[in-house]
Structure 1
Amino acid sequence: MKRKSIYLIRHGETDLNRKGVVQGSGVNSPLNEFGEAQATAFYNAYQHVPFDKIYTSDLQRTHQTVRGFIKQGIPHESYSGLNEISWGIREGKEPNIGDGNYYRELVAAWKNGQVELASEEGESPVQVRERQIPVIEKILSRPHERNILVAMHGRAMRVLLTVLFKQPLVRMDDYEHSNLCLYKINYSYDTQEFELELSNDITHLLSLEIPQTF
């Protein structure tokens, strides 16, 4: 049976994550010190896996998250199709009541089935799904890549997981995530089905001391 193991991770922490600032695809923030520690912890836990390829978004926080594996010489490709959703004109702004209410109402609308609704000057979940599908198809067209590492972003991961498991986008929020969590997914080329082995796993981070918030 031909299989592919996909190690899907969210990027490590950034200062904006810590502050509760929405980043989206338009804010290209770097990992902070704790995010770098998370990346090191993940590398230490999974450096033994014989990865054939690394896939990331175009944003630097995903590249930095897998830097240790890239330094091993593992081939790496980045795709804008794996970028975070664009949250539009409110990206990168300090948290405030007005924007907080806007985001809550937008996510509630998505849960109620309005998945074609985009944020102001941003994207809808349907648009994110449409740009992810060609990347998924490319990844699956390479059966010789038996173990792959994919680094991306929270909301984009939620969209991707509904695509892989053939679920409606209203189920996005069933998939919890945290910085540098792992979803391990196995794909069978015989059945063309995905199987979830690990979900939002952070056991590789348990030795880290969580720093004080801002």
Structure 2
Amino acid sequence: MRQKTIYLIRHGETDYNRRGIVQGSGVDSDLNDMGRAQAMAFFQAYQHVPFSKIYISSLKRTYQTVEPFIELGLSYEILPGLNEISWGVMEGKVPNSIDNEYYRNLIESWAAGQTSLTTDGGESPEEVATRQKPAIDTILSRPDEEPVLVAMHGRAMRILLSWLTGRSLANMDQFEHSNLCLYKLRYEYDTKACVIELANDSTHLLTLALA
């Protein structure tokens, strides 16, 4: 049975993450020192994996996350369809109590099935899924690239994992994530099924906790 193994990671930490500032697709932030340390820890743990290709979003925090692999000479491709959701007017802002209520109502609405509801001036989960599908089709259309490493973003990962595993977008919050977590996926071409072999794994970061 033909299959593709996808190592799907979230980017490393940025100062925006640390300070609780909304990023989204409109904020092109850099990794901070912790984020770069996370990237190196992941590299040290997975440099033995013979990745055929790396796929990243168009936001530089994903490039910086996989940069140690790229420096080895591995080929990479930018797919803007992997970008984070646009949070609209909230991007670049620190949530206050009013904003937290806005977010809570938004997340509750999505969980209730209103996944066509957009953020204020931004995107809906359904719109994100629509732009993700051509990007994933591109990756899956190349079965000889095995395995692959894909770096993207938290909310976008939740949306992707939902539809790729046949779940409703309303259930996306079941897919937990942290900075530079790993989801290891196995895609079966014959059945078009995607199986999660590792979820939100961060054991590769234990060395940072011990440092």
TM-score normalised per structure 2: 0.98
Structure 1 partner of 2:95: 95
**Structure 2 runs not aligned, ≥5 long:** none
Instruction: Give the aligned length.
Output: 211
**Paired letter, 2:111:** K
Q: Give yes or no for the alignment of 1:120 onto 2:124.
A: no
Q: Give yes or no for the alignment of 1:80 onto 2:80.
A: yes
Stretch of structure 1 that moved more, 69-78 or 33-42? 69-78
Structure 2 partner of 1:19: 19
Structure 2 partner of 1:143: 143
Structure 2 partner of 1:53: 53
Please give the alpha-carbon distance, in whole angstroms, between the structure 1 residues aligned to 2:139 and 2:94.
Answer: 36
Helix, strand or coil at the partner of 1:207: helix
Q: Shift of the alpha carbon at 1:207?
A: 1.4
Q: Shift of the alpha carbon at 1:210?
A: 8.8
Identity %: 60
C-alpha RMSD over aligned residues: 1.2
Helix, strand or coil at the partner of 1:99: helix
Q: Shift of the alpha carbon at 1:146?
A: 1.1
Q: Residues 144-203 of structure 1, C-alpha deviation per residue, up to 9 Å, x if partnerless?
A: 011000000000000000111011100100100000000000112222211110000000
Q: Give yes or no for the alignment of 1:184 onto 2:199.
A: no
Please give the alpha-carbon distance, in whole angstroms, between the structure 2 residues aligned to 1:80 and 1:189.
Answer: 24
5 Å-filtered alignment, 1:25-64, equals 25-64=25-64
**Paired letter, 1:44:** Q
Please give the alpha-carbon distance, in whole angstroms, between the structure 1 residues aligned to 2:181 and 2:151.
Answer: 10
TM-score normalised per structure 1: 0.96
Please give the alpha-carbon distance, in whole angstroms, between the structure 1 residues aligned to 2:75 and 2:27.
Answer: 26
Inter-CA distance 210–123: structure 2 relative to 1 (3 Å threshold): farther
Helix, strand or coil at the partner of 2:208: coil
Q: Shift of the alpha carbon at 1:99?
A: 1.3
Structure 2 partner of 1:206: 206
**Paired letter, 1:73:** G
